[in-house]
């Protein structure tokens, strides 16, 4: 997203909020028409000071569709983070649209959402040409990985400037298991930053669980979708984004 500035202490000065607008399209697609339009969501996110937009073009196009991408890019000045599987099809689309960032995610057709992190360690040879072709096109590459030192090491070998740490396990765990997962995320954010990789985080974040993640000083960006769009049904997207923003700011 926008150029990150670091303070002398090496801490990002502000934690960016990227809003994933996929599920506006999920609701639209339920009826097959044009409403609600993810473009309108993008504009609202921009109006209330969101830092970026995230959209996942899945192989089955279950939410965002190809034609949405250019419309979303044209609708605001916000940087677009395109979540994509590591396939030739998605690479060609990314190279055509040139989003600010591309976050490579694992994708299985039958899953309801992105269930695990990318096995960057086990798939180096498959990922390397995709990472380099995206980077050569000026697209900032991010790898969506589990908070695991092997995956950070793999991201370093791949030359990825960004990793997004998967917070799904943290979000679903309770009690001590959640504390363990939180420590893992904090440790991996520190390890990534120490090695020159900008750490982001996302998946499953809500008003109730975001604060501990937002308090991790090395994190530069959170990408949040499903919960915000769900809350928007009750309180409006503006209020949902602003409340999440407030919680993130309060945690720093």
Binding residues for ligand PXP (CB under 6 A): 20, 22, 56, 83, 103, 105, 113-114, 144, 164, 202-205, 223-227
Of residues 7 and 22, the one with the C-beta less far from ligand PXP: 22
Q: Which of 63, 164, 203, 231 is catalytic?
A: 203
203 is catalytic: yes
Q: How far is the CB of 221 from ligand PXP (least distance, A)?
A: 10
Of residues 53 and 186, the one with the C-beta less far from ligand PXP: 53
Angle in degrees, 0-180, between the axes of helices 124-136 and 149-158, rounded to the nearest 10: 50
Of residues 10 and 66, the one with the C-beta less far from ligand PXP: 66
Neighbours of 168 (CB within 10 A): 18
Q: Burial code of 126-149, b = ≥16 C-beta within 10 A, e = fewer?
A: ebeebbebbbeeebbbbbbbbbbe
Please check whether residue 79 is in contact with residue 101, taking contact to mean a CB–CB distance below 8 angstroms: yes
Q: Burial code of 39-78, b = ≥16 C-beta within 10 A, e = fewer?
A: bebbbbbbebebbbbbbbbbeeeebbbeebbeebbebbeb
Please check whether residue 107 is in contact with residue 58, taking contact to mean a CB–CB distance below 8 angstroms: yes
The residues near 153 (Cβ < 8 Å, ≥ 6 apart) are 121
Neighbouring C-alpha atoms within 13 Å toward the C-beta of 164: 33
Q: How far is the CB of 142 from ligand PXP (least distance, A)?
A: 8
**What values do phi and psi take at 251, rounded to 5?**
-80, -15
Q: How far is the CB of 58 from ligand PXP (least distance, A)?
A: 9
Of residues 10 and 230, the one with the C-beta less far from ligand PXP: 230
Of residues 7 and 60, the one with the C-beta less far from ligand PXP: 60
Query: CA 28 to CA 17: how far, in whole Å?
Result: 24
83 is catalytic: yes
Q: How far is the CB of 154 from ligand PXP (least distance, A)?
A: 16
35 is catalytic: no
Q: Which of 56, 63, 166, 200 is catalytic?
A: 56
Query: CA 41 to CA 214: how far, in whole Å?
Result: 23
Q: How far is the CB of 7 from ligand PXP (least distance, A)?
A: 25
Any idea which residues carry the catalytic annotation?
56, 83, 203
């Amino acid at each position: 997203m926008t150029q990150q500035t670091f303070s002398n202490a090496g801490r990002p000065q502000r934690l960016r909020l990227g809003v994933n607008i996929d599920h506006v399209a999920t609701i639209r697609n339920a009826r097959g028409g044009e409403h609600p339009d993810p473009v309108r969501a993008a504009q609202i996110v921009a109006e209330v000071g969101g830092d970026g937009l995230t959209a996942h073009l899945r192989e089955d196009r279950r939410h965002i569709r190809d034609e949405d991408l250019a419309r979303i890019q044209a609708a605001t000045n916000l940087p677009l983070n395109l979540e994509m599987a590591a396939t030739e099809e998605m690479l060609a689309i990314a190279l055509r649209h040139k989003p600010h960032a591309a976050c490579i995610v694992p994708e299985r057709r039958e899953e309801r959402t992105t269930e695990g992190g990318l096995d960057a360690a086990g798939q180096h040879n498959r990922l390397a040409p995709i990472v380099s072709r995206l980077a050569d096109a000026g697209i900032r590459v991010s790898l969506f990985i589990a908070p695991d030192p092997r995956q950070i090491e793999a991201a370093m070998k791949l030359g990825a400037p960004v990793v997004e740490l998967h917070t799904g396990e943290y979000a679903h765990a309770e009690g001590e298991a959640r504390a363990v997962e939180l420590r893992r995320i904090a440790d991996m954010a520190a390890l990534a930053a120490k090695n020159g990789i900008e750490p982001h985080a996302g998946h499953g974040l809500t008003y109730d669980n975001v604060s501990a993640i937002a308090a991790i000083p090395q994190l530069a960006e959170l990408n949040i979708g499903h919960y915000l769009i769900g809350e928007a049904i009750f309180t409006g997207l503006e209020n949902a984004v602003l409340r999440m923003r407030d919680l993130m700011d309060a945690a720093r």
